[in-house]
Structure 1
């Protein structure tokens, strides 16, 4: 009977669940850079627990947690193999994060805190082993329905310490560019906005995101997603950094589809260009989500 009950619960989660408390996401990227590496890859996994059931019956399935203002905690892990021309390194990246939406008399308040730890394991004498920590804090508010405005502070104790959650959501190229932008100052001010809203008289929705990082250099990011229906979305993104040691700009495209309300798959592409260094890079990524 226990086995039958477990199988029934799993079947319901995979076919028609409209509420969930857990989400598990996996992703991998194939990297092809002109000089820094040659046909390398990354892989990652993230698990999120929501303190209350997330209702996914309204709006785009991909944004159910945001639309529900669902407070949560997450753990993430990324792995990367990078090497070319005598450079050979394995990177491990761990992260923990908490997000909270807090009702007030005026507007809902938002707060988040995260920690990431990066380990670089060199396979030869041309690159040194290194470890780094990264801490981040954000405070904000939903200034209008489904419109978040937040500012934050980030401390990178080592410039090789990546944001594990940035890697999962935006890819390794943009995550590396953001960390390099903070650079030797080790401290940065961040700001971002996010909006998701329905398109009148249609079954479609639109989402916009923007972000700014001000550290040793400055970087910004713009992103938009068109939800053709609650299950299917296509998106485009652009990022630019004034730091000279990484690609100066990157544009990307993505598509995501929920096979059921509990199971989603997606693909992404990023093309990054560098002006003064031979670091043009392309990535192709695949991802999947499972909710229960």
Structure 2
């Protein structure tokens, strides 16, 4: 009977669940740069929502945002890099909490996160090192499904990456953000996010913008077209202003499809173009999967 109950619960989750409280997602990226083409990453993130998330309205990919669903998450990213004698394995761990608080004026948004990166050198070319990253954000849903937020990030060591940023945007853009912070341990961030239906169709549009001000500056834009609640295609662009002759740029494309309301798969591509010989042009290709229950 226990086996039958477990099988039934799994079948319901796989086929038609319109509400969920847990989400697990994983991804892997293949990295090809001007130094070598043998590197890869792997990442996983688990999220618990304090209340059931209704996924019956709007794009399935944005159900949590549309529901203003408070949550807690943990994430882990593994990266491997070897080049000209270097042999480094990188581990990044993260924990994050997001909350939407109703008020008489507008819903208030708040988040806090902690990430820790460990770089393990497998030879004597580089030393082992590690670093911490703390971040907080405060904002508001100023219009239906339109979030505006400001934040502060403290990076004790510049090798400290954002595990959640890697899952959302890929390792190339996470590295670009780390380079932007540079030797400045403090950064101010600003971002917006909007998701809305396209009148007269079954489609929706979403966009996100972000800015980072530290020793250097960076900004990015991302947009997704939801052809229906299950299928979306998207594009992104990011640029950092590191110095007069070093302003790397990255653009990307992605596609995501929900096989059922509980199971999704996707693919993404990022091309990071370095404008200085000391940096490397980089391409990444990633695959991801998501499971809700």
TM range (shorter): over 0.9
Matches within 5 A, 1:246-261: 248-261=248-261
Check whether the contact 1:98–1:112 (CA below 8 A) recurs between aligned residues: yes
Structure 2 counterpart of 1:242: 241
Contact 1:28/1:42 (<8 A) preserved: yes
Partner of 2:42: 43
Q: Quick check: 1:217–1:243 contact (8 Å CA) kept in 2?
A: yes
CA distance in 2, matches of 1:162, 1:230: 32
Q: CA deviation at 1:247?
A: 7.0
Question: Is the CA contact 2:232–2:257 (under 8 Å) kept in the aligned structure 1?
Answer: yes
Instruction: Please tell me whether the aligned partners of residues 256 and 265 of structure 2 are also in contact (alpha carbons under 8 angstroms).
Output: yes
CA contact (8 A) 1:247 1:279 kept: no
- Cα distance in 2 for partners of 1:26, 1:104 equals 35
Residues 231-261 of structure 1: per-residue CA shift (max 9 Å, x gap)? 0000000000012598700000000000000
Output aligned runs, 1:35-114, within 5 Å: 35=35, 37-114=36-113
User: 1:64, CA displacement in angstroms?
Assistant: 0.1
> Quick one: distance in 2 between partners of 1:73 and 1:41?
27
For normalisation by structure 1, the TM-score amounts to 0.98
Q: What is the CA deviation profile of residues 59-97 of structure 1, one whole-angstrom value per residue up to 9, with x for unaligned ones?
A: 000000000000000000000010111111000000000
Describe the SS at the equivalent of 1:57.
Answer: coil
Shift in Å, 1:58? 0.1
Say what the alpha-carbon RMSD is for the aligned residues.
Answer: 1.1
Alpha-carbon distance in 1 for matches of 2:86, 2:237 = 29
Post-superposition Cα deviations, 1:269-289, rounded to whole Å, max 9, x if no partner, equal 000101112400000000000
Equivalent-residue separation in structure 1 for 2:169 and 2:283 (angstroms): 14
1:291 and 2:284 matched: no
How far apart are the structure 1 equivalents of 2:119 and 2:246?
A: 18
Q: Is the 8 A contact 1:38 1:83 kept in 2?
A: no
What number of residue pairs does the alignment pair up? 291
Counterpart-to-counterpart distance in 2, 1:234 and 1:26: 19
- TM normalised by structure 2 equals 0.98
Runs of 4+ off more than 4 Å:
244-247
- SS in structure 1 opposite 2:201? coil
CA-to-aligned-CA distance 1:177-228 (integer Å, 9 cap, x gap): 1011111111000000000000000000000100000011000010000000
Cα distance in 2 between the residues matched to 1:143 and 1:202: 25
Rounded to whole Å, the distance in 1 between the matches of 2:193 and 2:38 is 33
Gaps of 5+ in 1: none
Q: Distance in 2 between matches of 1:39 and 1:57?
A: 42
Shift of 1:39: 2.2
Q: Within 5 Å, which residues of 2 pair with 1:1-292?
A: 1-35=1-35, 37-243=36-242, 248-277=248-277, 278-292=279-293
